[in-house]
Chains A and B, each alone.
Chain A
Amino acid sequence: MSEESGENSRTEPRAQSRVQSPLRRRGKAFVARYRRNTLAMAGLVVTGSVILIALLAPVLAPYDPAAVNVPARLQGPSLAHPMGTDHYGRDLLSRVLFGARIALQVAVATPLVAGAIGIPVGLLAGYSGGRVDDALMRLMDSIFAFPAILLGLTLVAVFGQSLTNIVLALGIVFIPQFARVTRGSAVSVVEEEHVRVARSLGASHVRIMLVHVLPFCLSAILVQATVTAALAIVLESSLSFLGVGVPSPKPSWGAILRVGKGYVDSGEWWFSVFPGLAIVVAVLGFNLLGDGLRDVLDPRTDPNR
Chain B
Amino acid sequence: MVSRLQAFLVRRLLWALPVLALVSVVIFGLIRLVPGDPAIVMLGADADPARLAAVRAELGLNDPIYVQYIDYIGDAIRGDLGRSYVTNREVSAAIAARLPTTLFLTLAGFIVSLAIAIPAGLLSATNRGKTLDGVGLSFGLLGVSIPNFWLGIVLLIAFGVNLDWLPVAGYVSPLENPVEGIRYLILPGITLGTAMAAVVTRMLRSELLEELRHDYLDAVRMKGVSDLRVLGHATKNAFIPVVTVIGMQFGYLLGGSVVVEQVFSIPGMGRLLLDAIGSRDYITLQGVVLVYTTFFVAVNVVVDAAYFFLNPKLRGEQ
A and B in direct contact, judged by CB atoms within 8 A: yes
Binding site for B on A (CB under 8 A): 138-139, 141-142, 145-150, 153-155, 157-158, 230, 234, 237-238, 241-244, 254, 257, 260-261, 264-265, 267, 269, 272-273, 276, 279-280, 283-284, 287-288, 291, 302-304
Bound-state Cα–Cα, A146 to B153, Å: 26
Bound-state Cα–Cα, A78 to B54, Å: 60
Bound-state Cα–Cα, A254 to B251, Å: 21
Number of A-B contacts (CB under 8 A): 130
Report the minimum CB–CB distance from A149 to chain B (whole Å). 3
Bound-state Cα–Cα, A302 to B289, Å: 37
9 sample A-B contacts, Cβ–Cβ < 8 Å, listed by A number: A138-B18, A145-B251, A145-B297, A148-B252, A153-B258, A153-B277, A257-B149, A272-B150, A284-B141
B156 interface residue per 8 A CB criterion: yes
Residues of A within 8 A of B209 (CB): 304
Residues of A within 8 A of B145 (CB): 230, 280, 283-284, 287
Q: Which partner residue on chain B sits nearest A239 by CB separation?
A: B259
Bound-state Cα–Cα, A272 to B146, Å: 13
A147 touches B252 (CB 8 A): yes
Report the minimum CB–CB distance from A151 to chain B (whole Å). 8
- B141-182 contacts to A, CB under 8 A, are 141-142, 144-150, 153-154, 156-157, 161, 168
A-B contact sample (10 more), CB < 8 A, given A148-B251, A230-B144, A304-B210: A138-B19, A147-B255, A149-B258, A153-B258, A157-B285, A237-B149, A238-B148, A273-B154, A280-B145, A288-B141
Interface of A is mostly: helix
Binding site for A on B (CB under 8 A): 15, 18-19, 22-23, 26-27, 30-31, 33-34, 128, 141-142, 144-150, 153-154, 156-157, 161, 168, 205-206, 209-210, 251-252, 254-256, 258-259, 262-263, 273-274, 277-278, 285, 289, 292-293, 296-297, 300
Bound-state Cα–Cα, A291 to B297, Å: 29
Report the minimum CB–CB distance from B223 to chain A (whole Å). 26
Residues of B within 8 A of A288 (CB): 141
Partner of A267, one of B33, B34, B161: B161
Residues of A within 8 A of B168 (CB): 264-265
A269 touches B274 (CB 8 A): no
Bound-state Cα–Cα, A284 to B146, Å: 8
Report the minimum CB–CB distance from A276 to chain B (whole Å). 3
B258 touches A283 (CB 8 A): no
B157 touches A269 (CB 8 A): yes
Residues of A within 8 A of B292 (CB): 147, 150
A264 touches B27 (CB 8 A): no
B31 touches A158 (CB 8 A): yes
Partner of A142, one of B23, B34, B285: B23
Report the minimum CB–CB distance from A159 to chain B (whole Å). 9
Contacts A154-B285, A257-B150 given: A146-B293 contact, CB under 8 Å? yes
Report the minimum CB–CB distance from B251 to chain A (whole Å). 4
A150 touches B30 (CB 8 A): no
Residues of A within 8 A of B34 (CB): 158
Top 5 nearest A-B pairs by Cβ distance?
Answer: A149-B255, A147-B255, A276-B150, A147-B251, A304-B209
A242 touches B153 (CB 8 A): no
Bound-state Cα–Cα, A237 to B255, Å: 14
Residues of A within 8 A of B26 (CB): 142
Report the minimum CB–CB distance from B17 to chain A (whole Å). 11
B156 touches A264 (CB 8 A): yes
Report the minimum CB–CB distance from A215 to chain B (whole Å). 28
Residues of A within 8 A of B141 (CB): 284, 287-288, 291
A304 touches B128 (CB 8 A): yes
Bound-state Cα–Cα, A234 to B263, Å: 15
A145 touches B258 (CB 8 A): no
B153 touches A276 (CB 8 A): yes
B262 touches A241 (CB 8 A): yes
Contacts A279-B150, A291-B141 given: A145-B293 contact, CB under 8 Å? yes
A272 touches B33 (CB 8 A): no
Residues of A within 8 A of B274 (CB): 153, 242-244
Partner of A242, one of B19, B33, B251, B259: B259
Bound-state Cα–Cα, A105 to B15, Å: 36
Partner of A257, one of B30, B144, B153, B258: B153
Among A148, A153, A254, A267, max chain B CB count under 10 A is at A153
